[in-house]
Amino acid sequence: MGLGQETVALVGPSGAGKSSVLRAIAGLLAPAWGRIRCGDRMLLDTERGTSLPPERRRVGMVFQDAALFPHLTVAGNVAYGLPSASRRHRRDAVRPVLERFGLARLEGVRPTSLSGGERRRVAVARALASRPELLLLDEPLSSLDPVSKAAVASELSSYLREMRMPTVLVSHDFSDVLGLADRVAVMESGRILQEGTARELLEAPASSFVASLTGVNYFEAVALSRGDLTEIRATAGVVLASADPAFGAVGVVVYPWDVALSLRRPEGSALNSMTGPIGRVTELGNRVRVTVASDPPIVAEVTEGSARRLGLAPGVRVVATWKATATRLVPKAGGPGRGERATA
């Protein structure tokens, strides 16, 4: 695992092994085998017997629960990350750090009196006070209310762009890493399933698992050329259409915001439709995400006004429609890829 001047996000469900990767990089966990390199420095190489102790790795780590010392003030917590020096020197060194992170007015306050967002900000300031060469962030936006999450995400994005420091962050929520990470790696059971930019994962998820994390619809099908369009045969005899050229086994990707819902099949240019009862309705700010229990299931994202007007609720039978141009086809392992033709 090599780290450059970028931010890499490891995304996956709880128990996927993401936090173990951070602990291994920090030197808090000794893996049986592997290599970890930061720039020109080799932190771990099990084949050569190299393993720098944590104090020599120059790593700053922000734990999921912030892990602040309750008996120390904000200034004391931030100063803890500074090299040993006189009290006056540490006080002078910590002041610009507090000002940089907007914590000067809170320097004498203890962690129990801070909000969740303020505690997270103190933890980041402490991690960076020692001028590390590598920053590790364990679920930096978890357990925050929507307002605090938005504020901390904005501040963190600004810090990461300014520092251009090698950074690894882990999260169980794909939306939390948008705007923060240069690259995203999806993990399951300790293995990386797919890696790329957030846009690449959104546009071409490699599996239904990756698609579920990114929040897009994905199902497997067989594609056949039919004139100007590609015919897609999915489960239960469902036949759809795509404007993408393909032949053979494919993955079908449809963005939820491209799916329209109605109580009966509408007239128009939308060639694709699935019918079924609503299985789940989830509010997302001023949008509503609706899961239709069709075969295969499809998720739509509509406005609050549309949801109220249609009376969308679990059990209500609806028709989900979308255009052929909104049906993306991606290669599926084991079959001809997009734009290819099978040969006899």
Dist. CA 196–CA 181, nearest whole Å = 10
| Exposure b/e, 278-297, CB count within 10 A at least 16 = b | beeeeeeeeebbbbbbbebe
pLDDT value for 294: 93
pLDDT value for 138: 92
> 216-331: same fold as 2-203?
no
Dist. CA 310–CA 275, nearest whole Å = 15
Q: How many Cβ atoms from other residues are within 10 Å of residue 120's Cβ?
A: 28
Q: What is the DSSP letter of 19?
A: H
DSSP track, 92-123: HHHHHHHHHTT-GGGTT--GGGS-HHHHHHHH
Q: Please provide residue 274's backbone torsions phi and psi, each rounded to the nearest 5 degrees.
A: -140, 145
Nearest to 58 by CA among 71, 72, 40, 74: 40
Q: What is the DSSP letter of 267?
A: P
pLDDT value for 101: 85
Indicate the SS3 state at residue 37. strand
CA atoms within 13 A on the CB side of 159: 20
Nearest to 257 by CA among 299, 291, 286, 292: 299
Nearest to 272 by CA among 195, 324, 338: 324
Dist. CA 92–CA 94, nearest whole Å = 6
Tens of pLDDT along the chain (344 residues)?
Answer: 455 568 899 998 876 578 888 999 999 988 888 898 888 889 999 999 999 998 888 899 998 888 899 999 999 999 887 766 566 677 778 888 888 888 999 999 999 999 888 898 899 889 888 888 899 999 888 888 877 888 888 888 888 888 888 899 999 888 888 888 999 999 988 888 999 999 899 888 988 889 988 989 999 999 998 788 999 998 777 899 999 999 899 999 999 999 999 998 887 767 899 999 999 998 887 899 999 999 999 999 999 999 999 999 999 999 999 999 999 999 875 444 444 333 22
| Strands 287-292 and 272-284, sheet pairing | antiparallel
Q: Please provide residue 131's backbone torsions phi and psi, each rounded to the nearest 5 degrees.
A: 55, 60
Residues contacting 309, CB < 8 A, separation 6+:
none
Helix locations, 64-173, DSSP H: 74-79, 87-100, 116-129, 146-163
| Strands 7-11 and 167-171, sheet pairing | parallel
pLDDT value for 265: 84
Architecture of domain 2-203: 3-Layer(aba) Sandwich (3.40)
248 is written with which tokens?
A: 């053979």
Dist. CA 166–CA 43, nearest whole Å = 14
> Does 277 sit behind a cis peptide bond, omega within 30 degrees of 0 on the bond before it?
no
Q: Does domain 216-331 correspond to CATH entry 2.40.50.100?
A: yes
Q: How many Cβ atoms from other residues are within 10 Å of residue 192's Cβ?
A: 15
Give the global pTM.
0.78
Dist. CA 190–CA 10, nearest whole Å = 10
The residues spanned by each domain of the chain are 2-203, 216-331
Dist. CA 121–CA 111, nearest whole Å = 11
